Structure 1
């Protein structure tokens, strides 16, 4: 942990107009961090951890992020090995592209994949508790392999094709869930992590996941 001995790690929650994020702020505080909801560049770059929330449509979230120059600051943190956690649409925009209601928009392209509609033969939005299949060596899901998490979404990344071209880099850890089809529930990739579900709405399991992330800062 990069925080000074005896002090809490600092976490910036990115404020770019993404609806009600106060539940996430409170949950991260309860999980053991000093939290600031902010759009200040220096705070975003210097905090021990950055959380990127997101609700609504993929394209709208990307436009709001761009309007605040947020992709640049997120990218600088990732390039510098500084931890970032995306939540819900904040998870989705880290992939290459999103297609919703026939509207395609580019994401940040940190990971391969396209955010598309869940299958037509299931109820959407996928709203409620669901199990996940996490790798045994997951940091986020340490001690949480039999738990359920709270999802609210109609779109997801449903395939993974990561070109592991740099042998010295560990392959990303991908966690899956199922609602009509398998979809990516979380990814852990060096300093960059993200969850399709809402840990702040996932009770004790979500709180433990946030503690796991904060402990890793």
Structure 2
């Protein structure tokens, strides 16, 4: 693996220590920088955009630190991995907190699961969706290399992505969740790879090898 730098965007809303530690574990020779400095972010080879918590607070912190424009700019030019609320912030808008405008990097909305969510057997499902769930790959992508289809990843969220144009993977939790999205140099996941054991570490390792190029997608059967 060539030497490179990864900027983990720090806007006060991510599990940054876990993400940075996971990257350091899989990235031999990779420099991991947890930062809110625009110059450092622009200079990095790859970008991680994490996040936990409410989208209203997320957007407020991004704007107060001047990072909203930074994320929009680097998302157009560098390999970027959005994680959880970081993924949701890349959408057009979210139903959370009465409706919040997001960064509009990717077309799609963030929707509430609802108060009476049930599985196919009619059993009530708890919200937030918390725990391990099967992720079904919908495209062939470098970030899935070495990861078996229908592998399990760890989720924690009360709102889900609806972005049908760029689906890289789905999961089921009362509704179909667009669990991963891919658009050119941006890949985004609703689950937490840093909390998903060896499978999650493999995805992060794949990201550190990815040059952001768009592959020829082949639907995964």
TM-score, scaled relative to structure 1: 0.87
Is residue 61 of structure 1 aligned with residue 58 of structure 2? yes
After TM superposition, where is structure 1 displaced by more than 6 Å over at least 4 residues in a row?
Answer: none
Partner Cα distance (2:192, 2:14) in 1 = 14
Partner of 2:79: 83
Partner of 2:46: 49
Residues 16-35 of structure 1: matches in 2 within 5 Å?
A: 16-32=11-27, 33-35=30-32
Partner Cα distance (2:163, 2:18) in 1 = 30
| Aligned positions, number | 200
Task: Give the number of the structure whose residues are more often helix, by fraction.
Answer: 2
Partner Cα distance (1:183, 1:20) in 2 = 22
Unaligned segments of structure 2, at least 5 residues: 118-124, 212-221
RMSD of aligned Cα (Å): 1.5
Partner of 1:106: 101
Partner of 1:157: 161
Query: How big is each residue's C-alpha offset from its partner over 1:18-73, in whole Å with a ceiling of 9 and x where there is no partner?
Result: 15410011001112031011111111001011111111111110111111111211
Partner of 2:146: 143
Partner Cα distance (2:14, 2:72) in 1 = 22
Unaligned segments of structure 1, at least 5 residues: 1-5, 163-171
Partner Cα distance (1:203, 1:55) in 2 = 19
Partner SS for 2:75: helix
Partner SS for 2:202: helix
In 1, are the aligned partners of 2:138 and 2:170 still within 8 Å (CA)? no
